[in-house]
Amino acid sequence: MVLKARDGIPDWGQIERLLEEWQPDRLLVGLPLNMDGSESEFCARTRKFARRLHGRFGLKVSMVDERLSTFEAKQLAKEQNKQQRSYRDLPVDDLAAAMILQSWLSDPKLATDP
């Protein structure tokens, strides 16, 4: 499930309901670094979101490098013949999130604090 923000504001109620249902020990947030590893313009907003998640719900939050996750997700979708249309028509956010999770599962030490 992909959760959308409205005007940059997440649906905190929807997040809370999912957290109550799933009872996670930790939350992962993708960190949109530039290809050279420097922080992109969105990193500050992403870190703020991660700190708010921790503040509201008291859960540990880890940031995970998300470089290339969308590109790789688009490639996977093309291989599966699912990406015949534009990104707007067929977004791959769920696939990219799964790749971010997989990278953390493969090496949790790569995660950073917000």
Closest CA to 31 of 62, 76, 9: 62
91 band by pLDDT with thresholds 50, 70 and 90: confident
Q: With contact defined as beta carbons under 8 Å apart, do 33 and 65 qualify?
A: yes
CB 64 within 8 A of CB 30: yes
Q: Select the CATH number that applies to the domain covering 25-110 from these four: 3.90.550.10, 3.90.78.10, 3.30.420.140, 3.40.50.300.
A: 3.30.420.140
Q: What is the largest CA-CA distance in the chain?
A: 41
Taking a C-beta distance cutoff of 8 angstroms, is the pair 8, 45 a contact? yes
> DSSP letter string over 8-51?
TB--HHHHHHHHHHH--SEEEEEE-B-TTSPBPTTHHHHHHHHH
Cβ 12 vs Cβ 44: under 8 Å: no
pLDDT tens for each residue of 2-27: 888 899 899 999 999 999 999 999 99
45-66: per-residue pLDDT in tens?
A: 999 999 999 999 999 999 999 8
Between CA 77 and CA 29 the distance in angstroms is: 22
